[in-house]
């Protein structure tokens, strides 16, 4: 069936929240400390840390601590896995539409056969 179903569960769950998407959006522009990430968000630091925990759990974000500063960065591999899943679904759907288009362009085979027998 699917590759890495657990990984996909985690990534999609992490992205199902506007605050967490905002964090990923910020980190895609470059690494940031926890306090830099918290600054534009209207919530307490513990709430931000909880969101970061979900993001780290999903593999979308990694962090490292140097001294008292924890710096976060985005992990594009997890984002890519989810993007690939979506892209594959869309490709299957578009191939189906292409085949349908070709079928319609070729015309109704029954009608064509009738036409040929008349000429």
Contact residues toward a copy of itself (CB under 8 A) are: 1-2, 5, 8-10, 12-13, 15-18, 21-22, 24-25, 28-30, 74, 76, 79-80, 82-83, 85-87, 89-90, 92-93, 96
Minimum distance of a copy of itself from residue 88's CB (angstroms): 8
| β-bridge pairing 32-33 and 61-66 | unpaired
CB neighbours of residue 27 within 10 Å: 21
Of 64, 67, 88, 78, the residue nearest 20 (C-alpha): 78
Closer by beta carbon to a copy of itself, 21 or else 115? 21
């Amino acid at each position: 069936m699917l590759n890495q179903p657990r990984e996909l569960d985690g990534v999609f769950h992490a992205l199902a929240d506007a605050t967490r998407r905002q964090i990923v959006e910020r980190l895609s522009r470059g690494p940031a400390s926890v306090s830099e990430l918290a600054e534009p968000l209207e919530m307490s630091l513990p709430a931000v840390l909880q969101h970061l925990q979900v993001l780290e759990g999903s593999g979308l974000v990694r962090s490292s601590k140097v001294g008292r500063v924890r710096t976060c960065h985005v992990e594009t591999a997890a984002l890519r896995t989810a993007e690939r899943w979506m892209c594959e679904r869309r490709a299957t759907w578009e191939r189906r539409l292409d085949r349908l288009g070709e079928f319609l362009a070729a015309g109704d085979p029954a009608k064509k056969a009738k036409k040929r027998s008349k000429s």
